[in-house]
């Protein structure tokens, strides 16, 4: 899974140049972006950057995972850029996992469901929503906060990835705490995820309710896999955060689709280590990670 976390201050140089020349050539041609001049230009550069990364790596990937925070920081123009990047990923035949980690009480969760899966009824007609294939969600508010998101996802044939054990060191502060009645907070979340996904496990033996399980803490994976036998694991943290694909075998117990290895900075900034054009370095690193992943995923 290609993570797209575009930092406007660290885009591929050719994307910045493309946005500059577009700005100079014809500001009048509408491209669906609105906001301050800086926001619109930066959003255009973000779209160019993501298109270039997609062109370089799409053939090595099954899905793209845009980090919504990175778009949101450019305001309305950034949200329009996100819509365009989702469209570009679809043109490449990729699934789209919106990495937004949303979570709120029921009525608000339903609004997030509309935002990411659509549709949104209005007096002026229906608004489609972002229309992604899956959304990452935060379960701190409990089961009733997840149910509207499960419904919204299922209504469009989409799914969720629920945070269970994240990839950052601070995950230990809350998620690894031992509970009085056994297990950790993460184990409790895993039970919640397994229960929510039980109704959504299809013929292939994989559920529509996934779990985020950081690749940086593989010592948890076997236990989490036992607790969630049909849950697809989204495994971020490979590369820049220190995770290694070869440690992730437990994720693939239900089959090769049991684990989705996500990498972002490791691919996009590969050229800073390897030298050469960003496109070529990104494609090479994506291919390397794909091969590593398949080697682990196909182990008996």
| Burial readout 20-48 (b: 16 or more C-beta within 10 A, e: otherwise) | eebeeeeeeeeeebebeeebbbbbbbbbb
Q: How far apart are CA 194 and CA 235, in angstroms?
A: 17
**Known catalytic residue: 17?**
no
Q: Where are the beta strands (DSSP E) in 30-151?
A: 63-66, 95-102, 134-137
Q: How far apart are CA 188 and CA 221, in angstroms?
A: 14
Which residues, 216 to 275, sit near a second copy by CB under 8 A? 241
Using CB under 8 A as the binding rule, whether residue 77 contacts a second copy is answered as yes
Q: Which of 50, 64, 163, 251 binds a second copy (CB under 8 A)?
A: 163
Between 64 and 296, name the residue whose CB sits nearer to a second copy: 64
From residue 20 to residue 49, the character string flagging contacts with a second copy as x (rule: CB under 8 A) and all else as - is ---x------x-xxxxxxxx-xx--x----
Which residues, 125 to 144, sit near a second copy by CB under 8 A? 125-130, 138-144
Between 207 and 216, name the residue whose CB sits nearer to a second copy: 216
Whose CA is closest to 73, among 35, 101, 22?
35
Interior angle at CA 61, CA 247 and CA 127, nearest 5: 120
Using CB under 8 A as the binding rule, whether residue 166 contacts a second copy is answered as yes
Cβ atoms of 2 and 64 closer than 8 Å: yes
Between 135 and 284, name the residue whose CB sits nearer to a second copy: 135
Residue whose entry in the numeric block shows the structure tokens 């684990």: 259
Which residues, 171 to 200, sit near a second copy by CB under 8 A? 171-175, 177-181, 185, 188-189, 192
Q: Which of 51, 58, 65, 83 binds a second copy (CB under 8 A)?
A: 83
In angstroms, what is the minimal distance from the CB of 285 to a second copy?
18
Which span sits near a second copy by CB under 8 A: 108-116, 201-209, 245-253, 283-291? Answer: 108-116
Count residues contacting a second copy (CB under 8 A)? 87
Q: How far apart are CA 295 and CA 217, in angstroms?
A: 20
Between 179 and 295, name the residue whose CB sits nearer to a second copy: 179
What is the DSSP code (8-state) at residue 231?
P
Between 168 and 279, name the residue whose CB sits nearer to a second copy: 168
Task: Indicate left, alpha or beta for 137 from its phi (over 0: left) and psi (-120 to 50: alpha).
Answer: beta
In angstroms, what is the minimal distance from the CB of 180 to a second copy?
4
Which residues, 272 to 291, sit near a second copy by CB under 8 A? none
């Amino acid at each position: 899974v290609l993570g797209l976390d575009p930092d406007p201050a660290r885009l591929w140089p050719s994307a910045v140049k493309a946005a500059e020349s577009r700005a100079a050539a014809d500001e009048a041609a509408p491209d669906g972006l609105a906001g301050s001049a800086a926001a619109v230009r930066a959003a255009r550069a973000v779209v160019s950057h993501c298109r270039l990364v997609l062109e370089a790596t799409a053939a090595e990937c099954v899905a793209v995972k845009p980090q919504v925070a990175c778009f949101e920081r450019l305001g309305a123009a950034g949200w329009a850029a996100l819509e365009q990047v989702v469209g570009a990923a679809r043109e490449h035949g990729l699934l789209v996992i919106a990495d937004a980690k949303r979570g709120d009480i029921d009525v608000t969760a339903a609004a997030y469901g509309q935002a990411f899966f659509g549709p949104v009824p209005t007096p002026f007609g229906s608004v489609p929503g972002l229309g992604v294939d899956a959304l990452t969600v935060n379960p701190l508010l409990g089961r009733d906060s997840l149910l509207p998101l499960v419904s919204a996802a299922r209504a469009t044939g989409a799914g969720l990835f629920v945070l269970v054990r994240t990839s950052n060191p601070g995950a230990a502060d809350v998620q690894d705490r031992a509970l009085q009645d056994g297990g950790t907070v993460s184990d409790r979340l895993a039970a919640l995820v397994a229960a929510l996904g039980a109704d959504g496990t299809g013929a292939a033996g994989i559920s529509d309710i996934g779990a985020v399980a950081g690749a940086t803490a593989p010592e948890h994976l076997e236990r989490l896999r036992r607790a969630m036998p049909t849950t697809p694991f989204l495994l971020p943290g490979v590369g820049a955060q220190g995770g290694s694909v070869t440690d992730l075998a437990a994720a693939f117990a239900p089959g090769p689709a049991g684990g989705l290895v996500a990498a972002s900075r490791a691919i996009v900034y590969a050229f800073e280590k390897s030298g050469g054009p960003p496109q070529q370095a990104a494609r090479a690193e994506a291919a390397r990670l794909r091969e590593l992943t398949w080697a682990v995923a196909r182990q008996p």
